[in-house]
């Protein structure tokens, strides 16, 4: 595979591209991703109202439980449900067993966006929560996500994106240049680093990789973001399934990086994703927290929690003509 680069690394298995940064006269760094589309406000409000209406009737079932011991409860969060709604339903779930835990002790170890499904860890005691928070802060937790995107089929097998991340003056999360990390933003915050590895799994339901890292020896392209994306998020109508490995844990990280690559997640109207696809309205974005790997906060043993794939992910990997 031929990849045009401006900087070649010493390794034969990796190429690194530094994109030139656009100059700016502003005292604040310039965001490189576009502002929120106007249509997103109305759609997001509708989705938020729908999620809020479910808050009083939602309840977890034992089928939602991925793992449980005396310290942790790991569940498969449904799409379209707030994390707080899931947390508030945990006491009712625990009442079905002999495990008695004070509701005030329950804590969300990780948070997922409203429309993101998948692995969510809930600690049963404050002391356990503190240990897990430290593990996340120290980047000792490995995460994988699945995302169904719409755009032009990528020419890469694996790509690592390094950029900045922060809030613009209007409060929206945006991509910034990697060289802007540490610079102050409006409101007093600073640009933070953001890094995601993406692996191409399928295009138009034709399998590309069958297993994660199956072709790890293949060339990995590394892009260090310094300018606006040259790829139009609205160009191309291929259906693309990717697995994402976020190294950092920034808000909307995978959604922002998919947008930057010109592969906005299906249904993610906030970041230029299609709101209608093949004649159907998208009620949510197609992003799934697939797995979490970490050391158990009490036993110290390595554990991996994996959520069942949603229908859109299994369909994207199931085509009668794939090889």
List pLDDT tens digits, range 55-98.
989 999 999 999 999 999 999 999 999 999 999 999 999 987 76
- Percentage with pLDDT > 90 across the chain: 74
Count the neighbouring beta carbons within 10 Å of the beta carbon of residue 91. 13
What residues act catalytically? Answer: 113
pLDDT band at 99 (very low <50, low <70, confident <90, very high): low
Q: What is the overall mean pLDDT for the chain?
A: 87
Q: Which of 6-20, 209-223, 242-256 has the lowest mean pLDDT?
A: 6-20
* List of residues 6+ apart from 174 with CB closer than 8 A: 31, 32, 33, 165, 166, 167, 168, 256
The model's pLDDT over 105-134, given as tens digits with 9 standing for 90+, comes to: 999 999 999 999 999 999 999 999 999 989
pLDDT band at 318 (very low <50, low <70, confident <90, very high): confident
The pLDDT value recorded for residue 95 is 84
- Overall CATH class of domain 59-138+294-306: alpha beta
The model's pLDDT over 291-309, given as tens digits with 9 standing for 90+, comes to: 999 999 999 999 999 999 9
Domain ranges of the chain: 59-138+294-306, 142-285
Q: In angstroms, how far is the first alpha carbon of the chain from the final one? A: 20
* Statement: residue 176 has pLDDT above 60: yes
């Amino acid at each position: 595979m031929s990849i045009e680069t401006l900087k070649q690394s010493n390794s034969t298995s990796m190429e690194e591209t530094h994109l030139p940064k656009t100059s700016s006269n502003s005292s604040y760094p310039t965001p490189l991703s576009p502002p929120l589309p106007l249509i997103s406000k109305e759609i997001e409000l509708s989705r938020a109202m729908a999620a809020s209406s479910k808050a009083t009737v939602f309840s977890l079932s034992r089928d939602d439980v991925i793992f449980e011991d005396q310290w942790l409860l790991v569940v498969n969060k449904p799409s379209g449900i707030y994390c707080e709604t899931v947390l508030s339903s945990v006491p009712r779930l625990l009442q079905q067993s002999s495990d008695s835990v004070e509701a005030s002790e329950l804590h969300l170890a990780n948070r997922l966006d409203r429309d993101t499904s998948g692995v969510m860890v809930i600690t049963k005691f404050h002391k356990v929560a503190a240990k897990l928070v430290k593990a996340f802060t120290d980047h000792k937790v490995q995460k994988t996500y699945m995302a169904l995107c719409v755009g032009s089929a990528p020419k890469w097998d694996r790509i690592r994106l390094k950029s900045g991340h922060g809030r613009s003056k209007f409060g929206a999360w945006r991509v910034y240049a990697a060289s802007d990390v540490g610079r102050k933003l409006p409101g007093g915050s600073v640009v933070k680093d953001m890094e995601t590895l993406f692996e191409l799994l399928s295009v138009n339901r034709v399998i590309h990789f069958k297993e994660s890292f199956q072709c790890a020896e293949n060339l990995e392209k590394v892009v260090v973001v310094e300018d606006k994306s040259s790829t139009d998020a609205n160009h191309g109508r291929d259906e693309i399934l990717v697995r994402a490995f976020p190294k950092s844990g920034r808000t909307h990280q995978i959604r922002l990086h998919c947008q930057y690559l010109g592969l906005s997640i299906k249904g993610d109207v906030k970041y230029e994703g299609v709101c209608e696809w093949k004649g159907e309205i998208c009620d949510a974005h197609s992003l799934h927290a697939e797995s979490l790997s970490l050391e158990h906060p009490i036993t110290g043993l390595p554990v991996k929690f994996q959520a069942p794939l949603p229908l859109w992910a299994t369909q994207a990997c199931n085509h009668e003509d794939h090889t």
